[in-house]
Structure 1
Amino acid sequence: MTEPANPGSGTVRRSSHFVPGANERMLEKSIATDADSLVLDLEDAVTPDNKDSARTTVAGWLADVDFGAKERVVRINPLDTPWCAADVAETMVSPPDAYLVPKVNNAAEVVELDSMIARWELEHGHPPGGVVLLVLGTETPQGLLNIGELARHDRVDALSWGAEDLSAAMGSKANRDATGAYLPVFEYARVMCLVGATAWGKQPLDTVFVDFRDDEGLAAECATSAAMGFTGKITIHPAQIDIVNAAFTPSEAEMADARELLEAFAEAEAAGLMAFAHKGQMVDVPHLTRARKIVATAEAIAARS
């Protein structure tokens, strides 16, 4: 199987920014940011008493608000709650681009949600498969155990993970050590999210950085995340968006190096070579794949602007 130049559909999701459901002021502020995706939250940001009204408000936003080039994502309530089916039914009248699906336990739940969405796509005459899923894969211990299969479904376009919900579910007192590094089980969840996404050619999205006042910590975590292979990160405060975008945007130097390497490969291939010396090191197919991804990512970001 040929590896995709850019995992997932190619939708740019450097920053996927949470907007509390039914908060008009925060929606207006978020639309004015450079976030690639806006996640309209019907789960944690909404109290049980306000679920119905928030859902109706978010459905109205989808129908009436101009989001510009931003991806419109709705975080629905978990499948086993009283609100999930209604979340999908009401927001599918004027559908979002994607649903962010929390607390997924196994691949069967992804299939169940796919069937639910497909029914409403047919009911309202929307294109089949037009609404994709961004799955939160480690918010439950079962989800972490089954993460290798969560991104397999065709409707899944990205896989992310959650340290806060996972630590609560397991009874952990913390998910980071005194230096700010993830404790082993949470670093494992992060790694397995990356592996689980890329195994099926889907986008891997890193989880939130909760201390929105620590710009240096966020920048350092984003640098590590991008080096690992994540393509974006979920944000919870507008001040985080520009830092996250910068970390997941190829620099001019990276772009120049990638294009130079692609030219060198074209010359080498014409000479019958796929492994050769370039700038003092041996390069071969993995380096070509990496260079192609850098160029594809940069071009997708430029096309979105």
Structure 2
Amino acid sequence: ICKACTRVIAVAFGCEDYVTDLKGKHDNEGQSIFFARNMIANGARACGVLPIDTVHIKVHDLDDLARNLKVAKQLGFEGMLVLNPKEIPLVHHYFSPSEEELAWAKEMVQLAEDAEKEGKGVAVKDNKFIGPPMVKMAKDILKKHEMVVRRSAATN
């Protein structure tokens, strides 16, 4: 599906359709949809399109939504479909870079730049390798932050 057309830029997971087709049942821990969420996120990323997570069906349970958003972000989703406008601020919060992520990203880019100036291919921080994948992730976080700031300024 992700490669069906060059105009496909994102793919979304529909948990209700998935569970219904499997004749399955939702569980409180999300195990019944975990495999599919993983496959959507991985397949989308492998094809260079954005993975969008499913709606949160417990419409008025913002604590459960927060738990699901944390998992979605860890799996690599870029966003989540919403059913209720009250969910939007929480979804924006989780999918926007946090202050901690921004600090990490800035530090990674700086360490990489310093290592390059010293003629080193990689940097090391707290005995951990800082190589191209981490630097790419850091730059992506900074780029996303800039986009969020621009969008916020445009809507205010």
* CA–CA separation in structure 1 for the residues paired with 2:126 and 2:74: 21
Q: Which residue of 1 aligns with 2:146?
A: 299
Q: How big is the alpha-carbon RMSD for the aligned residues of Structure 1 and Structure 2?
A: 1.4
The amino acid across from 1:151 in the alignment is C
Distance 2:59 2:121 in 1: 45
Aligned AA (1:301): V
* Alpha-carbon distance in 2 for matches of 1:227, 1:216: 17
**Within 2, Cα distance between the matches of 1:253 and 1:279?**
17
**C-alpha distance 274-228 of structure 1, shift in aligned 2 (>3 A):** farther
* Maintained 8 Å contact 2:41/2:76: yes
Residue 280 of structure 1: how far off its partner (Å): 4.2
Equivalent residue, structure 2, for 1:219: 66
Equivalent residue for 1:77?
A: none
Q: Is the 1:159–1:196 Cα contact (8 Å) retained in structure 2? A: no
In the other structure, the counterpart of 2:7 is: 155
Name the SS of the counterpart of 1:205 in structure 2: strand
Runs of 5+ in structure 2 lacking a partner? none
Query: Residue 235 of structure 1 aligns to a residue in which SS?
Result: coil
Any idea what the Cα deviations from partners look like across 1:23-81, whole Å, max 9, x if unmatched?
xxxxxxxxxxxxxxxxxxxxxxxxxxxxxxxxxxxxxxxxxxxxxxxxxxxxxxxxxxx
Indicate the residue corresponding to 1:237 in structure 2: 84
**Alignment equivalent of 2:22, drawn from 162, 170, 177:** 170
Does the 8 Å CA contact 2:55/2:81 hold for their aligned counterparts? yes
User: Pairwise mapping of residues 18-97 of structure 1 onto structure 2 (< 5 A)?
Assistant: none
1:257 aligns to 2:104 (yes or no) = yes
Greater share of helix: 2
> Would the aligned equivalents of 1:151 and 1:200 in 2 still touch at CA under 8 Å?
yes
The whole-number CA distance in structure 1 between the counterparts of 2:30 and 2:103 is 33
- Deviations along 1:217-263, one digit per CA (max 9) or x if unpaired, are 10011011112211100000011111111000101221122112101
User: Paired residue for 1:181?
Assistant: 30
Residue 266 of structure 1 corresponds to: 113
Identity of aligned residues (%): 29
| Structure number having the greater strand percentage | 1
SS of equivalent to 1:302: helix
Residues 83-128 of structure 1 deviation map (CA, whole Å, 9 limit, x = unaligned) = xxxxxxxxxxxxxxxxxxxxxxxxxxxxxxxxxxxxxxxxxxxxxx
Q: 3-state SS of the aligned residue for 2:80?
A: strand
Amino acid at match of 2:13: W
Aligned to 1:202: 49
Deviates more, 1:294-303 or 1:274-283: 274-283
Residue type at the aligned position of 2:41: L
Is there any run of 5+ residues in structure 1 with no aligned partner, and where? 1-149
Match of 1:141 in 2: none
Q: Deviations over 1:181-216 (max 9, x none)?
A: 232xx2221111111111121111111011011111
Opposite residue 160 of structure 1, the aligned amino acid is A
Distance 2:141 2:98 in 1: 9
